[in-house]
């Protein structure tokens, strides 16, 4: 809901308010963003009034009064510009832009903070002064022209009870001396408690060079706030980092990688110092963009903070000729007064309903088996079919053929760009293979990396000018490969054609779209003199390619990937509803990585697989159950050679698959709560079901009382509480089994092996019927785990929980 009275604006969501007003100078003073400041009754009143027009109608009078007095209370009162600050003008000497919260700040008129916009004009000056000229409020949303953006299709699947009806505001500013036009576009998603912002610059009178143009600026009336960002590297993404900003500037930035990046994800939070998952004020910010980005929180001597976000300007510039326009990526903002979990809930709901789209948006994702860690480049049609047969016996639904199926691709040194089958490995092509997989009752999917080329490829030999490199200079490679120049329309067309050909060459229902190196040797033959525009134009090109292909193949489930989670962002999620979370499949590492993603991204967007032990990235050994339990909270699959597993492992996997089919909707689409320690849980939107996760990272004896306290359940519902039953093999009890056996069994001897094949040790079983109120407010005291004494070998009262063992608990409303 957006309300305007006398140039005061209120952007209202269910639980948050955002306010600003236009000053007599034409600048927009930011008044407030946070917990709703409208009494509920008034919110209802506003809702029934709908859009309030300027006709001064009777009903609108109370709104009028209310908004104006709210603005009077919130605005800053200044008598004069203090000390050595700049007074804006003689008529308005009390206005010092340096000490005013603003909706946008331009460079050169006294606001010396991190600016929203910085231009160089045709006359060489880089001072700008944008002042208000008009505003329009509409229902619905206004789609960006060149970039992906959040959307609202008017018939949004309900997220629980939520059903957003969006409205948007276009606030137009004109640059006083030069006539350039800056539009700020705000869209309000009331039920998700999200507001998006972006900007469009138009230059009707002159050529302009953009040095920076941000997407979002939020000025806050306090300092000492906490800035939380997520950093990492390949195979180690999304580590949470917190810094207090009490003066100076804290920056989260991907300035040269050329992708949103694992080094610094564009999702960040700004909160009070003591905000936790369950308590406190917290803002969440993200950007619908996949290129270099910048998010910064600064605070100044007047105890004010500024948050800005947008395209990184470190290696960016853009020349607009007279009459052209430039639009920024869309920034997403949300706020909660109830801690990070509640903020995440808003973000998750928003991403699920307004970022991801297409037929897969609300559908549970199929359980897949991926060939990569099963056989890497080394496979034949018959070895793939063996794997597929095993997978189909276990109930797996989708077979994914990863890298290695095309050109001469027997290692990672060649053939990227040559998108035709390797007939030695696949004599019957993708068509023949996919038919055989389909005959096994499974869908078929394929891996591609269309944005790349190897020097050793037919494509490079034919078109060296399509690769990103500085002409006649040495170029550097990443994973032996080069980026293709997607700023060029002919390269985009080539990729579209090549991929259309691949995607229709068999019955393909899933595509993993990879991108395995960052950028170097930035250069495009078509951007001579404007190389600073390269990365931004690259993404405009990529988005065109993704748009055409996802429209041409609407039923394909696309999974983004960039050497794991190196391009995990809302831009990609506008086209591909899920992204491979990390090349690290070690279950223990995955806990931190997936927990990191969970702050800003819902489980239905995160690819997560069970792989072999010892793990291929860390050589750590982790039980199969533990590997399953963490992967279950994502787009789930197996990535190991199923044929090499023992019969008991296969049996365990078949049980996991069966369990997952029953619970995956809750795991993928439920509301996610981070709990104490490494625990977390998901609760279905109707609160009838929940799945809870627990891991024992370090097992110690004689500690048998463990309480599992939950969140988000309905206090008034009665639930059946149980655990996913886990069997343990006899061998894991070591020589202790002699406590229970009539004859002595030598550890690792023949008898031990025989006994192990036939006998398994029983584990604890939880089975209670209890209220949501008890579970939310107190929690369950779990059955004890083996801790040196008291083991219940053939009962179900005591469990085994070694270091790195985990458990899933499930709750179902008792009918």
Query: Of the ranges 40-48, 379-387, 535-543, 556-564, which one interacts with ligand GLA (CB under 6 A)?
Result: 556-564
- Bin 653: left if φ > 0, else alpha if -120 < ψ < 50, else beta: alpha
Strands in 388-457 per DSSP E: 398-401, 443-448, 452-454
The minimum distance between CB 404 and ligand GLA, in angstroms, equals 8
Task: Report if residue 558 touches ligand GLA, rule: CB under 6 A.
Answer: no
Are the C-beta atoms of 238 and 265 separated by less than 8 Å?
Answer: yes
Reduce the DSSP state of residue 732 to 3 states and report it.
helix
Q: Which of 1, 561, 642, 692 binds ligand GLA (CB under 6 A)?
A: 561
For residues 107 and 405, which CB has a smaller minimum distance to ligand GLA in the complex? 405
Residues 505, 506, 510, 516: is their CA dihedral positive or negative?
negative
The CA–CA distances, whole Å, from 349 to 160, 192, 229, 604 equal 9, 6, 20, 11
For residues 390 and 639, which CB has a smaller minimum distance to ligand GLA in the complex? 639
Task: Report if residue 469 touches ligand GLA, rule: CB under 6 A.
Answer: no
Eight-state DSSP code of residue 365: P
Place of tokens 């009459």: 323
The minimum distance between CB 258 and ligand GLA, in angstroms, equals 17
Length of the chain in terms of residues written = 815
The minimum distance between CB 313 and ligand GLA, in angstroms, equals 30
Of the residues 583, 584, 629, 714, which is catalytic? 583
For residues 419 and 447, which CB has a smaller minimum distance to ligand GLA in the complex? 447
Q: How far apart are CA 439 and CA 729, in angstroms?
A: 35
76 burial via Cβ count (<10 Å: 0-12, 13-18, 19+)? middle
Of the residues 277, 485, 514, 629, which is catalytic? 514
For residues 318 and 580, which CB has a smaller minimum distance to ligand GLA in the complex? 580
Please give the size of the binding site for ligand GLA, defined by CB under 6 A: 12
Query: Of the ranges 196-204, 494-502, 560-568, 711-719, which one interacts with ligand GLA (CB under 6 A)?
Result: 560-568
Q: Which of 88, 173, 519, 580 binds ligand GLA (CB under 6 A)?
A: 580
Q: Segment 494-553, which members bind ligand GLA (CB under 6 A)?
A: 514, 516
Task: Report if residue 447 touches ligand GLA, rule: CB under 6 A.
Answer: yes
Query: Of the ranges 100-108, 182-190, 559-567, 713-721, which one interacts with ligand GLA (CB under 6 A)?
Result: 559-567
The minimum distance between CB 410 and ligand GLA, in angstroms, equals 12
Output the furthest CA–CA distance in the chain (Å, rounded): 100
Reduce the DSSP state of residue 230 to 3 states and report it.
strand
662 Cβ contact list (under 8 Å, min separation 6): none
3-state secondary structure 499-554: HHHHHCCCCEEEEEECCCCCCCCCCCHHHCCCHHHHHHHHHHHHHHHHHHHHHHCC
Q: How far apart are CA 197 and CA 213, in angstroms?
A: 13
Task: Write the binding mask 240 to 279 for ligand GLA: x where contact by CB under 6 A, - elsewhere.
Answer: ----------------------------------------
The minimum distance between CB 387 and ligand GLA, in angstroms, equals 16
77 Cβ contact list (under 8 Å, min separation 6): none
Q: Which of 88, 283, 372, 522 binds ligand GLA (CB under 6 A)?
A: 372
Nearest C-alpha neighbor of 32 from the set 78, 4, 74, 76: 74
Are the C-beta atoms of 630 and 587 separated by less than 8 Å?
Answer: yes
Measured in whole angstroms, the distance separating CA 298 from the mean position of its chain's CA atoms is 24
For residues 98 and 584, which CB has a smaller minimum distance to ligand GLA in the complex? 584
Task: Report if residue 294 touches ligand GLA, rule: CB under 6 A.
Answer: no
Query: Of the ranges 118-126, 170-178, 379-387, 557-565, which one interacts with ligand GLA (CB under 6 A)?
Result: 557-565
583 is catalytic: yes
Task: Report if residue 237 touches ligand GLA, rule: CB under 6 A.
Answer: no
What residue is closest to ligand GLA based on CB?
A: 403
Task: Write the binding mask 394 to 433 for ligand GLA: x where contact by CB under 6 A, - elsewhere.
Answer: --------xx--------x---------------------
Task: Write the binding mask 317 to 356 for ligand GLA: x where contact by CB under 6 A, - elsewhere.
Answer: ----------------------------------------
Q: Does a cis peptide bond (omega within 30 degrees of 0) precede residue 614?
A: yes
The minimum distance between CB 633 and ligand GLA, in angstroms, equals 19
Residues 603, 607, 610, 613: is their CA dihedral positive or negative?
negative
Q: How far apart are CA 425 and CA 807, in angstroms?
A: 41
493 is catalytic: no
For residues 133 and 480, which CB has a smaller minimum distance to ligand GLA in the complex? 480
Query: Of the ranges 258-266, 470-478, 561-569, 667-675, which one interacts with ligand GLA (CB under 6 A)?
Result: 561-569
Q: Which of 232, 258, 564, 571 binds ligand GLA (CB under 6 A)?
A: 564
Q: Which of 327, 349, 421, 583 binds ligand GLA (CB under 6 A)?
A: 583
Are the C-beta atoms of 594 and 561 separated by less than 8 Å?
Answer: no
Look up residue 807 and give its two tokens. Answer: 């458990």
Query: What residues make contact with ligand GLA under the rule CB under 6 A?
Result: 372, 402-403, 412, 447, 514, 516, 561, 563-564, 580, 583
Catalytic residues: 514, 583
């Amino acid at each position: 809901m957006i309300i305007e009275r006398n140039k005061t604006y209120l952007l209202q969501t269910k639980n948050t308010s955002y306010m600003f007003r236009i000053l007599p100078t034409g600048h927009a003073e930011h008044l407030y963003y946070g917990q709703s400041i409208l009494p509920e009754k008034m919110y209802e009143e506003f809702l029934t009034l709908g859009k309030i027009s300027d006709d001064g109608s009777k009903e609108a009078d109370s709104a009028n009064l209310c908004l104006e007095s709210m603005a009077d209370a919130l605005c800053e009162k200044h008598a004069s510009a203090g000390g050595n600050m700049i007074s804006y003008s003689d008529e308005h000497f009390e206005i010092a832009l340096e000490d005013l919260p603003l909706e946008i700040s331009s460079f050169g008129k006294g606001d010396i903070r991190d600016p929203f916009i910085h231009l160089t004009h045709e006359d060489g000056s880089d001072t700008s002064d944008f002042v208000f000229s008009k505003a329009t409020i509409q229902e619905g949303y206004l789609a960006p022209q060149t970039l992906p953006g959040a959307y609202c299709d008017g018939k949004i699947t309900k997220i629980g009870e939520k059903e957003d009806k969006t409205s948007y505001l276009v606030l137009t500013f004109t640059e006083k001396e030069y006539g350039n036009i800056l539009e700020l576009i705000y869209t309000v998603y009331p039920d998700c408690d999200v507001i998006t912002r972006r900007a469009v610059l138009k230059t009707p009178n002159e050529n302009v060079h953009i040095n920076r143009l941000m997407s979002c600026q939020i000025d806050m009336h306090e300092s000492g706030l906490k800035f939380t960002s997520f950093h990492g590297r390949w195979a180690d993404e999304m580590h949470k980092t917190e810094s207090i900003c009490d003066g100076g500037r804290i920056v989260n930035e991907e300035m040269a990688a050329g992708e949103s990046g694992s080094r610094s994800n564009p999702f960040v939070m700004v909160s009070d110092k003591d905000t936790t998952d369950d308590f406190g004020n917290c803002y969440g910010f993200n950007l619908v963009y996949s290129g270099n980005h910048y998010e910064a929180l600064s605070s100044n001597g007047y105890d004010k903070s500024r948050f800005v976000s947008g395209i990184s300007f470190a290696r960016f510039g853009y020349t607009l000729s007279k009459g052209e326009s430039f639009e920024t990526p869309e920034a997403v903002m949300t706020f909660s007064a109830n801690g990070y979990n509640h903020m995440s809930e808003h973000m998750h709901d928003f991403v699920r309903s307004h970022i991801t789209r297409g037929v897969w948006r609300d559908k549970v994702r199929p359980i897949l088996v991926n060939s990569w860690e099963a056989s890497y480049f080394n496979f034949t049609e018959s070895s793939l079919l063996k794997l597929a047969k095993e997978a189909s016996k276990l109930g797996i639904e989708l077979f994914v053929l990863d890298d290695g199926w095309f050109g001469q691709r027997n290692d990672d040194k060649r053939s990227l760009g040559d998108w035709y089958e390797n007939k030695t490995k696949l004599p019957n092509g993708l068509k023949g293979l996919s038919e055989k997989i389909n005959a096994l009752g499974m869908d078929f999917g394929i891996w591609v990396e269309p944005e790349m080329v190897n020097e050793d490829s037919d494509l490079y030999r034919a078109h060296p000018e399509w690769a990103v490199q500085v002409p006649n200079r040495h170029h550097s490679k990443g994973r032996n490969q080069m980026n293709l120049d997607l700023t060029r329309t002919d390269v985009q067309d080539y990729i579209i054609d090549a991929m259309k050909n691949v995607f229709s060459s068999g019955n393909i229902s899933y595509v993993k779209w990879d991108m395995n190196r960052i950028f170097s040797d930035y250069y495009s033959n078509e951007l001579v003199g404007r190389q600073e525009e390269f990365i931004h134009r690259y993404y405009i090109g990529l988005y065109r390619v993704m748009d055409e292909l996802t429209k041409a193949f609407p039923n394909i489930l696309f999974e983004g990937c960039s050497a794991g989670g190196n391009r995990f962002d809302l831009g990609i999620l506008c086209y591909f509803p899920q992204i491979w979370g990390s090349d690290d499949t070690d279950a223990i590492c995955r806990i931190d990585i997936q927990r990191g993603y969970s702050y800003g991204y819902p489980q239905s967007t995160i690819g997560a697989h069970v792989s072999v032990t010892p793990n291929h990235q860390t050589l750590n050994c982790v039980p199969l159950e533990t590997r399953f339990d963490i992967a279950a909270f994502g787009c789930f699959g197996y990535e190991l050679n199923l044929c090499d597993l023992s019969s008991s492992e296969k049996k365990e996997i078949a049980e996991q698959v069966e369990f997952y089919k029953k619970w995956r909707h809750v795991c993928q689409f439920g509301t996610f709560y981070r709990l104490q320690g490494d625990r977390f849980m998901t609760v279905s939107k109707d609160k009838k079901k929940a799945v809870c996760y627990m891991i024992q990272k370090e097992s110690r004896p004689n500690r048998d009382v463990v309480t599992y306290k939950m969140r988000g359940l309905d206090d008034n519902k009665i639930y059946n509480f149980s655990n996913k039953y886990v069997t343990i093999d006899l061998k894991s009890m070591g020589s202790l089994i002699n406590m229970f056996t009539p004859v002595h069994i030598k550890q690792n001897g023949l008898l031990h092996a025989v006994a192990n094949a036939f006998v398994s040790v029983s584990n604890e079983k939880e089975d209670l019927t209890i209220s949501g109120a008890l579970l939310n407010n107190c929690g369950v005291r779990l059955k004890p785990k083996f801790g040196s004494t008291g083991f219940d070998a053939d009962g179900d009262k005591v469990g085994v929980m070694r270091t790195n063992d985990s458990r899933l608990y499930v709750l179902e409303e008792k009918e």
